[in-house]
Copies of this chain bind each other. A is one copy, B any other.
Amino acid sequence: MSPLENAVLEKVHLPSGVTRLNPQRKALLQKLGPLVGLVAICIGLAFMSPDFLTIGNVMDVARQVSINAMIAFGMTLVILLGGIDLSVGSILAVSSVLMAMLLHAGHSSVLAVAVGILAGAFMGWVNGIVIAPGKVAPFIATLATMTLLRGVALVLSQGSPISDFSSDFFSMLGGGYFLTLIPVPVVSMLVVFALFWFVLKKTVFGRHVYATGGNAEAARLSGVKTDRVQILVYTLSGIMAAIAGVILTSRLNSAQPTAGAGYELDAIAAVVLGGTSLAGGRGWIFGTLVGALLIGVLNNGLNLLGVSAFYQQVIKGAVILLAVLLDRSDK
């Protein structure tokens, strides 16, 4: 302990029943675990591959991460509630197909994006309704909507991709650069990150999310409208999936009805690697950003090192396992 700490602690006279270790400090240290892991992996990769720490590669990784990070930000709130959202990939696909259909029908890209995001919000809202007032377990509710909405994406698009949108604005959203250096999706990701950070840290709504996830009954008895909080969170998750869909569609210049399959697992992995507890009530959005970066860097590094595809899965699984074993403060 530092002298300063000792001095502080000495003055405080502890009542019986209070732990002596500064809990904020302990929590912070624990929270920074994933960041330490990320930095360690980055240093390792920088030594192993000279291509890793180049501006170009760093920007690439950041852009590659942006889609997963967007979904994972929404998923963080869902998981903070103790819930889960398996339908994000399908929501992404439906939104993406809808946007592409509108663009092809000659509508403006602003309209298309707006409708896509609204559609995402609506699908998330339906999840929320089924889960909160409907009292269906989130896992099974979103498993059902995942299947259902994948079907909707296929029906809408007749199973074929919808491609080529000759809109500069739209193609900028996924492929453009800010100040000719930072990819637009990376900027969007950082803006959304800041927003979510603010919401969770500074707003009444954020507090209610933590309270509902920590103890829904106590929150309800304290006047928190827990159903409304849940509906809003699933709606947000839908919106984030749709935004990820905008980036993907723009970047691919194509809407794929099969897009987003399996993205829910990547997003959940990012959230959990970032230290948010699947039991709800405990976690932070910064961890999610770190978790998403961790996964992205891992994918990038394995490619740069030329690790063969089959071994990549073995290594990825092992790294995730290791990371959570090292950081299993709470189950």
Taking Cβ atoms with an 8 Å cutoff, the residues of A that contact B are: 84, 130, 134-137, 139-141, 143-152, 154-155, 158-159, 265, 268-269, 272, 277-279, 309-318, 320-321, 324-325, 328, 331
B135, A317: Cβ atoms under 8 Å? no
What are 6 A-B residue pairs whose CB atoms fall within 8 Å in the complex? A84-B139, A137-B331, A144-B324, A145-B317, A147-B320, A155-B310
B143, A325: Cβ atoms under 8 Å? no
A310, B154: Cβ atoms under 8 Å? yes
What B residues does A148 contact at CB under 8 A? 313-314, 316-318, 321
Q: A278-B139, A317-B145 are in contact. Are A309 and B269 (CB under 8 A)?
A: no
**Which one of B137, B149, B265 lies within 8 Å of A317 (CB-CB)?**
B149
**Which one of B140, B158, B159, B265 lies within 8 Å of A320 (CB-CB)?**
B140
**Most chain B CB neighbours (cut-off 10 Å) among A145, A309, A310, A312:** A310
**Complex Cα distance A228/B317, Å?**
25
What B residues does A318 contact at CB under 8 A? 144, 148
**Complex Cα distance A310/B157, Å?**
10
Q: A145-B321, A146-B317, A318-B148 are in contact. Are A311 and B155 (CB under 8 A)?
A: yes
Q: Name the residue on B nearest A273 (C-beta).
A: B140
What B residues does A145 contact at CB under 8 A? 317, 321
B140, A324: Cβ atoms under 8 Å? yes
